[in-house]
Amino acid sequence: MTVRIFHNHRCSKSRATLTLLEERGISCDVINYLETPPSAAELEKLLDMLGMTPRELMRKGEAEYTELGLDDPSLDDTALIAAMASHPRLIERPIVVANGKAALGRPPEAVLSIL
């Protein structure tokens, strides 16, 4: 089983999720998504696997959210996904992908349902 985690080492939830997986003997492909952000196409796929809308996956407390005017309700999904691809800090984390499914590690134990 290949498990990928879109990880930010500065995020406590992301670190806790990675630790949880490692403690269960699960080896992960760790993607530091701030350095290697997912493309818009990959974000669309992740959103589909998560069953979430782009706005639900956005970190609304980040400065970029306000600076880019992303609180504008008239923005469509394409614009929001493009913003996340260009400004990966806007992406909620961590995202774990396994078995053709994805889960957001909030709380970290939520990812166990896809393993």
| Active-site residue list | 11
Using only C-alpha atoms, the chain has a radius of gyration, in whole angstroms, of 14
3, 31 Cβ separation under 8 angstroms: no
Residue 50 vs residues 35, 44, 53, 61: alpha-carbon distances, Å: 22, 10, 9, 21
Nearest to 91 by CA among 57, 46, 62: 57
87, 60 Cβ separation under 8 angstroms: no
